[in-house]
Structure 1
Amino acid sequence: MKEERKRGFEVVSTYLTKDINLPKRATHKAAGYDLEAAEDMILPTFWKQVLRYVLVELKQWIFSSPDKEDLTELSTIERILKPSLVPTGLKVYMQDNEYLQIVNRSSNPLKRFLALPNGIGIIDADYYNNEANEGHMYVQLINFGLVDQHIQKGERIAQGIFSAYLISDNDEGGVAERNGGFGSSN
């Protein structure tokens, strides 16, 4: 009789030939599985982007008429404030009443000035093998330091902690099936 799989990690098909490590716990009593970056990335410093924007806007303000408005200002600011999505090359499977909590490594803010802008990420059980991206997990990071940070392939960037959840007495089980990838249940 074949044993039922309960929870674990798999490499997504587009990364099968890219030497992706499956997450491991660092010690016997560690709660989190270390998640690694699947490729090299540069995480730009938030402040350099903001300063560049402010200087460009100040120059335009000085040399333009006061009644001229830039309609793209809001989208430019939103693009600056957007976190970077670091691919893991992984997908995760689990039981229906479980989720994977993505949390920051304790050394990231202290040593590298990297933070998860949403505090924690949640990977639901129905994210596994979704049609939009096969359930590929990404880690959102923002660099609040003064210099760009180079993330290297294989570098530990976050931790994943499996958790069970409870539902309320009158729970109706949600109103829809997942029909998208990252951030699709909003």
Structure 2
Amino acid sequence: MNERNTPRKENVNIRIKLLRDVSIPQYATQGSAALDLRAACDTVTIAPGERAVIPTGIAIAPETDGVVAVVAARSGLAIKHGICLSNGIGVIDSDYRGEICVGLYNSGSESFTINCGDRIAQLMFMPVFAANFILSDTLDGTERGTGGFGSTGIR
């Protein structure tokens, strides 16, 4: 247990290859769930409504198949500037060995410039489970049932 009386993170070994003149991603604080990914490119300006693919200069190889790397938006970029991941989240499969690149979309009203070394996204590692589908004619009933979008209300 750490100072805040919460369980410590489990560790997973990740091999990393630096493809450009970049640093190994770091956790910003002891409690950070994700590492910061930085731009490894020349200056890029993304106009409103436009997309850009930004290289990070790293490739990874988890030492186990039971883990997935997930790329997520940085909250400050999204809230303050409208810079989001163009695909919602990025899934980096355990067998992918290419450079991690981040697709960004500018949903804001002003152009946004990314410089080399800017923190552009977050990378976190999570356990993954393989689905074993069992064909069935019925599914267990639940309180929600088949209620979809908005069916549980907003309050």
Which TM class, normalised by the smaller chain length? Answer: 0.7 to 0.9
The answer as to 2:83 corresponding to 1:109 is: no
Match of 2:3 in 1: none
Match of 2:58 in 1: 90
TM-score in terms of structure 1 length:
0.61
Equivalent positions of 1:37-52 (< 5 A) are 37-39=39-41, 40-46=43-49
Using CA pairs below 8 Å that are at least 6 residues apart, which structure has the higher relative contact order? 1
Relative distance call for 1:24 and 1:8 in structure 2 (3 A) is: farther
The answer as to 2:125 corresponding to 1:162 is: yes
Contact 1:21-1:154 at 8 Å conserved across structures: no
Relative distance call for 1:8 and 1:158 in structure 2 (3 A) is: farther
Question: Residue 107 of structure 1 aligns to a residue in which SS?
Answer: helix
- How far did residue 168 of structure 1 move? 2.4
Relative distance call for 1:170 and 1:113 in structure 2 (3 A) is: closer
Whose Rg is larger?
A: 1
Question: Residue 77 of structure 2 aligns to a residue in which SS?
Answer: helix
- How far did residue 170 of structure 1 move? 5.8
Provide Cα deviations, 1:11-37, integer angstroms capped at 9, x if missing partner: 12xx2xxx3121000001101010000
Runs of 4+ in 1 over 2 A off after TM superposition: 168-171
Question: Gaps spanning 5+ residues in structure 1: where?
Answer: 47-80, 129-134, 172-186
TM-score in terms of structure 2 length:
0.72
- How far did residue 166 of structure 1 move? 0.7
The Cα RMSD (Å) is: 1.8
Question: Gaps spanning 5+ residues in structure 2: where?
Answer: 1-11, 135-155
Name the structure where strand makes up a greater proportion of residues: 2
The amino acid of 2:60's aligned partner reads V
